[in-house]
Amino acid sequence: MSEKEILVTEEQVSLIRKRGYNEDLLPKTEDKRNMSAKNYFTLWMGSIHNIPNYTAVGGFLFLGLSPINIMIALIISSLAVAGLMVFNGKAGSKYGIPFSMHLRSAYGDIGAKLPGFLRGGIAAIAWFGLQNFTASLALLILIGKIWPGFLTLGGDFSFFGISLPGLIAFTIFWAINLLIGLGGGEALNKFTAILNPLIYVVFIGMTIWAIKVGGGLGNILAFRPAVDQVQNNSPILVYFMIINSVLAVWAGPGASISDFTQNAKSTKDQRVGQTASLLVGYLIFAFSSISILIGGSIHYGVQEWNVLNIVDKWDNMPAMLLAIVVLLMTTISTNATGNIVPAAYQLAALFPKTINYKKGVIIAGVISYVIMPWKLMENSDSIFFFLNMIGAVLGPVIGVMLAEYFFVAKQELDLDKLYMDPSADNSDNPYKGVNKNAYIATIIALIISMLGTFIPSLKVISNLSFLVGAGLSFIIYLGLKKLK
């Protein structure tokens, strides 16, 4: 590790352990930091190529930019996400602390509970269930191709609005995700090591096929949707809208990135690995997503922006099955890194004496099943409004975390005070209670970033909600600190 890294000693950890903190919340000593730049390079590659991301790119094509400009916007977005991950992950890689303790350093031990719960207890669990359900539809296609009779099992049977085949597919995929989550970071490293070579093979193959059937790369890059379907937006605004959308997708992992960087061998490892992972991943994704969606649409004569529907039309059964399997695997990777892992850690942080990481995984998994995500999907307007609200909260939270760590704390944390002894007098502990300035900045930024949702004339603000929320909370928090 570099000379500027803080090496947490076993003596420090032993002292903190005696204060009642469970193992998952303890700072990581050097011998437990096993993630190299290579591990971080593979970490996010599988999270980029998932079904919702491909659908989002289809939507970008209607914002008014050409295909080549959308590719450029996606690549710029990857650098913005990499910056978010690296900078907000520095506290984790320097001190070996998880997200819940990083959050405490900005909001206070009591103040951290609400933003932590919103990230891990609501947003992560809801997204975990929704991602499982969305991918289970792909699993349903896969099983149906292999065993057509499966799709007719149960006849008219319905369990709160889902058919028996759909329920079985959802349960199978949910169980797989749960097992990956229980395996933690080690299981993820092994899983992504298998997944990433397959991603290259499958998506490069799909891209070559799409360029061929779409009439060549020039034909794809020259494609434009019907004029009456394209929005009339300023090109610069669309660039920012795409960057904002990509950042919002990564807002959850970006907020809780310390859960992963706490295992870094050094800050350099997580900085180099994450930047390379996101840049290379989005370079491939930008080119492949545009090529596959447009090439497939040209070939089949319909503007089809769901990659599953394109794959489902293939005549080559082995190729189709392989593509669906890889799409399912990328969803598992996304679900683990972005949802079940942070949910488990946050539940452990909220109830440190009774819940550890593995119990957190099980509880979060059960809740994600019980909320019946297929029911939430019945009304797309309400569920996406809910998820957008949760996502908008995370922008202001991230803004406060960055402002506090880099400009107020100046990258210095007192671990002895951060892991306070509950039996001692902590009245003068800077991390005790609620950081009121953090809450004021977060609430003001949240309200302003959501104005466009309720006032149509201010829609541009909601289109840039993450950027507006994070930027405002950052500035307001520092302003309040200056006034103090």
- Between CA 267 and CA 90 the distance in angstroms is 6
Q: Compute φ and ψ for 159, nearest 5 degrees.
A: -110, 95
Q: How confident is the model at residue 451 (pLDDT cuts 50, 70, 90)?
A: confident
Burial class (CB in 10 A: 0-12, 13-18, 19+), 157: exposed
| C-alpha count within 13 angstroms, C-beta hemisphere, residue 4 | 7
> What Å distances lie between residue 297 and 44, 301, 353, CA to CA?
28, 6, 54
| C-alpha count within 13 angstroms, C-beta hemisphere, residue 243 | 21
Q: What is the pLDDT of residue 130?
A: 83
Residue 301 has pLDDT above 70, yes or no: yes
- Between CA 102 and CA 332 the distance in angstroms is 26
Q: What is the pLDDT of residue 364?
A: 92
What residue has token string 């799709």? 151
Q: Where are the domains of the chain?
A: 37-372
Average confidence (pLDDT) over 266-285 = 95
What are residue 264's DSSP bridge partners? 35
Average confidence (pLDDT) over 50-78 = 88
Structure token pair of residue 24: 């998952």
> What Å distances lie between residue 349 and 114, 132, 231, CA to CA?
12, 25, 45
**Count of Cβ atoms closer than 10 Å to residue 308 Cβ:** 19
DSSP state of 29: P
Cα-based angle 301, 305, 310 (whole degrees, multiple of 5): 65
Which run of H or of E encompasses 380? Answer: helix 380-403
Residue 179 contacts residue 190 (beta carbons within 8 Å): no
Q: What is the pLDDT of residue 383?
A: 53
Is residue 273 classed as helix, strand or coil in its secondary structure?
A: helix
**Count of Cβ atoms closer than 10 Å to residue 253 Cβ:** 28
Q: What is the pLDDT of residue 196?
A: 66
Side chain identity, residue 249: V
* 3-state percent helix, strand, coil for the chain, nearest multiple of 5: 75, 0, 25
Kindly compute the dihedral angle of the four CA atoms of residues 345, 256, 71, 326, in this order, to the nearest 10 degrees.
Answer: -10
CATH superfamily label, 37-372:
Hydantoin permease (1.10.4160.10)
Q: What is the pLDDT of residue 3?
A: 44
Tell me which residue of 375, 342, 354 sits closest to 259, measured CA to CA: 342
Q: What is the pLDDT of residue 114?
A: 86
pLDDT digit string (tens) for 344-369? 877 887 787 788 888 999 999 999 99
Cα-based angle 471, 402, 113 (whole degrees, multiple of 5): 100
Of 275-279, 302-306, 320-324, 446-450, the range with the lowest mean pLDDT is 302-306
pTM of the model: 0.87
Average confidence (pLDDT) over 374-380 = 68
pLDDT digit string (tens) for 169-182? 999 999 999 988 88
